Amino acid sequence: MKRISLTQYLVEEQRMNNSIPAELRLLIEVVARACKTISHAVSKGALGEVLGSAGSENVQGEVQKKLDVLSNEMLLEANEWGGHLAAMASEEMETIHPIPHRYPKGEYLLLFDPLDGSSNIDVNVSIGTIFSVLKAPEGMSTPSEQDFLQCGTKQVAAGYAVYGPQTVLVLTTGNGVNCFTLDREMGSWVLTQRDMKIPAETKEYAINASNARHWYPPVKRYVDELLAGKTGPRGKDFNTRWIASMVADVHRILNRGGIFMYPADAREPDKPGKLRLMYEANPMAFIVEQAGGAATNGKQRILDIQPQKLHERVAVFLGSRSEVERVTSYHNA
């Protein structure tokens, strides 16, 4: 079988389909290179002294793990000097990181969740990186947080890496979804799945059911109907899967179908959910839609939400289209 590397895939996309400019292609390659470095650190585990807490908190009040901090630094360092970016933003940084003056600046903005699934780091369960690329607004001179507050529909690329039994990179530039597997010996990403499509039919759902007592009625109704199985309104049995790493749950859904839910609930009524819109929900929603699925916050399409702030949270329902439409219709009933 002829092996197609990420570089070759991107060059061909640029040439034949004209779907990505050269600058964006190079930017994606740099992000992929940083993910390779993170994957290497992850796989060392205790031997690399990368496990455990960093002894600090991020802007959202979450305890940072060593790998959260390390992955953030790796992404910053890799992307600072390439000349393709104007600024970056991350789950682990309070505000944006403009490209330092000593480096040339480009026209793109990069957002990332450097390490997704932090609670799984120390127990050797799949974790990952999520990223989203936007274009800087026309005429921007000094980048500000405001420049990042663009709808998900404005993303020009999005992707995630999963550091699991294999390290994979799933990518969209708005022309379908492709998956690359890291060949560790060669140090290169090899195209292993072309034009991924989420199966329409599913018997699997992902939600943290320990929060069930806090759920609002539409989510409770939807999950109750799944739990009722064959003799209930859905007429079939469903299975639960919850990895607690969004990257891994979404990757399963992309391959096997299903629905992923992290709803808002009554614990903290003012909080619109746990996950972050700009570097978790938006890139995943872009990928899922490109793979034929759907993504909403229960009421509306995630990609249409106008962000109000960088670390904004959002309820997330994504995956197989008919399931997402059903749970969304319960919210809008």
| Residue 117 touching ligand AHG (CB under 6 A) | yes
Please state the closest distance from residue 131 (CB atom) to ligand AHG, in A: 12
Span 270-329, contacts to ligand AHG by CB under 6 A: 274
CA distance 108 to 67: 26
Q: Which is nearer to ligand AHG, 6 or 50 (CB)?
A: 50
Q: Binding string to ligand AHG for residues 46 to 75, with x set by CB under 6 A, is what?
A: ----------------x-------------
Separation of alpha carbons 109 and 156, rounded Å: 10
> Is beta strand 204-206 parallel, antiparallel or unpaired with respect to 239-240?
parallel
Contacts with ligand AHG, 193-222, as mask; x by CB under 6 A: ---------------x--------------
Please, which residue, 246 or 315, has the CB nearer to ligand AHG?
246
Residue 274 is assigned to a ligand binding site: yes
208 assigned ligand-binding residue: yes
Going by C-beta distance under 8 Å and a sequence separation of 6 or more, which residues neighbour residue 215?
A: 223, 263, 265, 266
91 is in an annotated binding site: yes
CB of 129 to Mn ion, least distance (A): 8
As a whole number of angstroms, the distance between CA 325 and CA 133 comes to 27
205 contacts 258 by C-beta, under 8 angstroms: yes
In this chain, which of 39, 118, 126, 132 binds ligand AHG, going by CB under 6 A?
A: 118
Tell me how far, at minimum, the Cβ of 58 lies from Mn ion, in Å: 8
| 82 touches ligand AHG by CB under 6 A | no
Q: Which stretch binds ligand AHG (CB under 6 A): 34-42, 111-119, 159-167, 222-230?
A: 111-119
> CA angle, 212 as apex, 209 and 213 as ends, to 5°?
150
| Cα angle: 31, vertex 52, 276; to 5 degrees | 50
CA 105 to chain centre: 25
CA gap 232, 236 in Å, rounded: 8
Max CA-CA distance within the chain? 66
- Residue 221 falls in which region: left (phi positive, over 0), alpha (psi -120 to 50) or beta: alpha
Are 281 and 271 contacting, i.e. CB atoms less than 8 angstroms apart?
no
Sole binder of Mn ion in the list 72, 76, 86, 113 (CB under 5 A): 113
User: How do 204-206 and 259-262 pair as beta strands?
Assistant: parallel
- 55 in a known ligand binding site: no
Q: Which two tokens stand for residue 62?
A: 């979450």
Rule CB under 5 A: which of 82-101 touch Mn ion?
A: 91
Write the binding mask 119 to 138 for ligand AHG: x where contact by CB under 6 A, - elsewhere.
Answer: x-------------------
What is the spatial distance between Cα 261 and Cα 222, in angstroms, rounded to a whole number? 11
Nearest residue to the partner Mn ion, using Cβ: 116
Among the candidate windows 36-44, 169-177, 197-205, 244-252, which touches ligand AHG by CB under 6 A?
A: 244-252
Given 129, 150, 245, 297, the residue binding ligand AHG (CB under 6 A): 245
Q: What are the start-end ranges of the H helices in 81-187?
A: 145-148
Binding-site residue positions for substrate: 116-119, 208, 274
Binding-site residue positions: 91, 113, 115-119, 208, 274, 280
Binding-site residue positions for Mg(2+): 91, 113, 115-116, 280
- Which residues make up the interface to Mn ion (CB under 5 A)? 91, 113, 115-116
